[in-house]
């Protein structure tokens, strides 16, 4: 983007593909981290006199307008953060978008409606995506890719549109890629990875890659129970992906052979039911050893011994990557595991990266100072796929 700014953008319509996919409670944004993350790019362009058209997806609507997934709240928040009015187009490439963009003066900013309201955005059919990309291209003179959270998606606005316009990477993408390179090229050791979250199937590919790269991998969250099951423990009614047990067994064996420490919880907090996240009524969990989960109970957080163990495994790390909460942190009774890992990252003298979505939101919701971490990524799936060594369509499209 510095090259673009040096060329001069005054009067040019610049399409900024952002990732404003923020968590919402109705129309209230519960974490605006992703909007703040794109501010440097939007501000720099507006200050240089560009006519900025910000576009993003939000959630997973089914290729048609759906008020529950409107970007209007994100557009207002962007306006508040910029300290000025932001125009909002109620469609993506229709009349509203066309007139809104035509009405922009130099230095003005507009947001167009959720790109996924158009079936062409996510289509697997190249021609359908291309047709939508052509329509988007008519709205702008230049493309700036800055939606790091979506670069792993081969979508029209991420992959096809940059080929149709002079294209540049924004500040956020440049920063994110710079940080992730530190984890893939010449990483400082010990390199410790903490992985949590609900589904083990989302993490298998990255574990596969990390078994050759990391020194220790700490496992928590709902996915831990598939690992405990693979070790031969009963996990009661905990979250379990039975079909993934054989793959996980193989990883446990590979870790053993390769000398990578794959560390599992030694104790967990259990209760008969999933907690009520709305009322946050006391859940009264009990602590049990990881091999003694009662048949009628489910594990919902790592236990106190595991917290200590994981903190000790992180204490001497030179590099840390953390993705996924350790428990149901949205409920106060199950937040301690996630808090303990976040605190261990803060206490670590090494370079600490929090990868994406839920763990980034957890850090902010639990009240940690995000600036105290080495880097908090805006991309969950995107940062994982980067670490898997995959070619990411949204980065490939900008690289030439």
Q: List strands edge to edge, sheet with 351-354.
A: 261-263, 216-219, 191-195, 319-323, 351-354, 375-376
| Residue 392 DSSP one-character state | P
Residue 381 in contact with ligand 3PG, rule: CB under 6 A: yes
**20 lies in the binding site for ligand 3PG (CB under 6 A):** no
Known catalytic residue at 381: yes
Residue 359 annotated as lining a ligand binding site:
yes
- In 3-state terms the chain splits into helix, strand, coil percentages (rounded to 5) of 40, 15, 40
324 binds ligand 3PG (CB under 6 A): no
323 binds ligand 3PG (CB under 6 A): no
Identify the CA nearest to 245 among candidates 266, 272, 253, 261.
Answer: 253
**Phi/psi class of residue 221: alpha, beta or left (left: φ > 0; alpha: ψ in -120 to 50)?**
left
Told to judge if 34 belongs to the known catalytic residues of this protein, a careful annotator would answer yes
The conformation of residue 138, written as its DSSP 8-state character, comes to T
Interface mask (CB under 6 A) for ligand 3PG, residues 41-80, using x and -?
Answer: -------------------x--------------------
Interacting span for ligand 3PG (CB under 6 A) from 91-99, 147-155, 167-175, 324-332: 147-155
371 classed as catalytic: no
- Please indicate if the annotation marks 277 as binding a ligand: no
Structure token digits, residue 251: 């990883």
Least distance to ligand 3PG, CB of residue 364, Å: 15
With left for phi above 0 and alpha for psi between -120 and 50, is residue 55 left, alpha or beta? Answer: beta
188 contacts ligand 3PG (rule: CB under 6 A): no
Instruction: Decide: is 355 part of the binding site for ligand 3PG (CB under 6 A).
Output: no
Smallest separation, CB 391 to ligand 3PG (Å): 17
380 binds ligand 3PG (CB under 6 A): yes
User: Counting contacts by CB under 6 A, is residue 153 touching ligand 3PG?
Assistant: yes
Comparison of 153 and 229: residue with beta carbon closer to ligand 3PG: 153
CB-nearer residue toward ligand 3PG: 135 or 323: 323
- Closest CB to ligand 3PG among 290 and 361? 361
Q: Report the alpha-carbon distance of residue 207 to residue 131 in Å, rounded.
A: 37
- CA 354 to CA 336: how far, in whole Å? 17
Which single residue brings its beta carbon nearest to ligand 3PG?
21
Q: Is 118 annotated as a binding residue?
A: no
Does residue number 129 form part of the binding site for ligand 3PG (CB under 6 A)?
no
Q: How far is the CB of 39 from ligand 3PG (least distance, A)?
A: 17
Is 120 annotated in the active site? no
Task: Kindly give the pairing relationship between strand 28-29 and strand 51-55.
Answer: unpaired
Among 1, 14, 16, 21, binds ligand 3PG (CB under 6 A): 21
Query: Going by C-beta distance under 8 Å and a sequence separation of 6 or more, which residues neighbour residue 247?
Result: 204
310 CB burial (10 A radius; 0-12, 13-18, 19+)? buried
**Residue 393 contacts ligand 3PG per CB under 6 A:** no
Would the CA dihedral through 356, 361, 363, 368 be positive or negative? positive
In order, the DSSP letters of 173-226 are HHHHHHHHHHHHSS--SSEEEEE-SS-GGGTHHHHHHHTTT-SEEEE-STTHHH
What residues numbered 210-269 form the site for ligand 3PG, per CB under 6 A? none
Count of residues touching ligand 3PG (by CB under 6 A):
9
> According to the annotation, is 186 in a ligand binding site?
no
Q: Which of 199, 254, 364, 390 is catalytic?
A: 199
CB atoms within 10 A of CB 372: 12
Closest separation between CB of residue 74 and ligand 3PG, Å?
12
Nearest-angstrom CA–CA distance, 380 and 324: 9
Which of 12, 34, 154, 313 does the annotation list as catalytic?
34
Q: Is 291 assigned a ligand-binding role in the annotation?
A: no
Is residue 149 a contact point for ligand 3PG (CB under 6 A)? yes
Listed in sequence order, the DSSP H helices in 59-198 are: 72-82, 95-102, 126-137, 171-184
Binding residues for substrate: 19-21, 34, 57-60, 116, 153
Binding residues: 19-21, 34, 57-60, 116, 153, 203, 299, 330, 356-359
Could you list the residues known to form a binding site for ATP, using ranges. 203, 299, 330, 356-359
Catalytic annotation, residues: 34, 199, 357, 381
Binding stretches for ligand 3PG (CB under 6 A): 19, 21, 60, 149-150, 153, 357, 380-381
């Amino acid at each position: 983007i510095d090259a673009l700014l040096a060329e001069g953008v005054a009067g040019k319509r610049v399409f900024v593909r952002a990732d404003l996919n923020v968590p919402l409670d109705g129309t209230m944004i519960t974490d605006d981290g992703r909007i703040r993350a794109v501010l440097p790019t939007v501000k720099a362009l507006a200050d240089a006199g560009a006519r900025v058209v910000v576009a993003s997806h939000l959630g997973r609507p089914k290729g048609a307008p759906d008020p529950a997934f409107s970007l209007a709240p994100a557009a207002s928040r962007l306006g508040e953060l910029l300290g000025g009015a932001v125009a909002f187009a109620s469609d993506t490439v229709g009349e509203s978008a066309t007139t809104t963009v035509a009405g922009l003066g130099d230095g003005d900013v507009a947001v167009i409606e959720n790109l996924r309201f158009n079936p062409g955005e996510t289509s697997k059919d190249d021609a359908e995506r291309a047709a939508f990309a052509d329509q988007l291209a008519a709205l702008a003179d230049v493309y700036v890719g800055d939606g790091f959270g979506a670069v792993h998606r081969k979508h029209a606005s991420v992959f096809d549109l940059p080929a149709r316009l002079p294209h540049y990477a924004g500040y956020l993408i440049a920063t994110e890629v710079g940080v992730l390179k530190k984890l893939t090229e010449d990483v400082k050791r010990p390199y410790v990875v903490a992985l949590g979250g609900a589904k083990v199937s989302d993490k298998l590919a990255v574990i596969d890659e990390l078994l050759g790269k990391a020194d220790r991998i700490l496992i928590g969250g709902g996915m831990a129970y598939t690992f405990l099951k693979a070790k031969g423990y009963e996990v009661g009614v905990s979250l379990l992906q039975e079909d993934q047990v054989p793959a996980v067994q193989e990883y446990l064996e590979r870790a053993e052979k390769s000398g990578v420490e794959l560390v599992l919880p030694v104790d967990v907090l259990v209760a008969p039911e999933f907690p009520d996240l709305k009322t946050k009524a006391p859940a009264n969990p009990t602590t049990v050893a990881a091999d003694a989960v009662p048949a009628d109970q489910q594990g919902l957080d790592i236990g106190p011994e595991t917290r200590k163990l994981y903190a000790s495994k992180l204490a001497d790390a030179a590099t840390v990557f953390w993705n996924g909460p350790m428990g149901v942190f949205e409920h106060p009774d199950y937040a301690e595991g996630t808090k303990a890992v976040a605190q261990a990252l803060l206490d670590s003298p090494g370079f600490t990266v929090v990868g994406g979505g839920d763990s980034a939101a957890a850090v902010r919701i639990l009240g940690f100072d995000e600036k105290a971490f080495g880097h908090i990524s805006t991309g969950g799936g995107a940062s994982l796929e980067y670490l898997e060594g995959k070619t990411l369509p949204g980065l490939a499209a900008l690289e030439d």
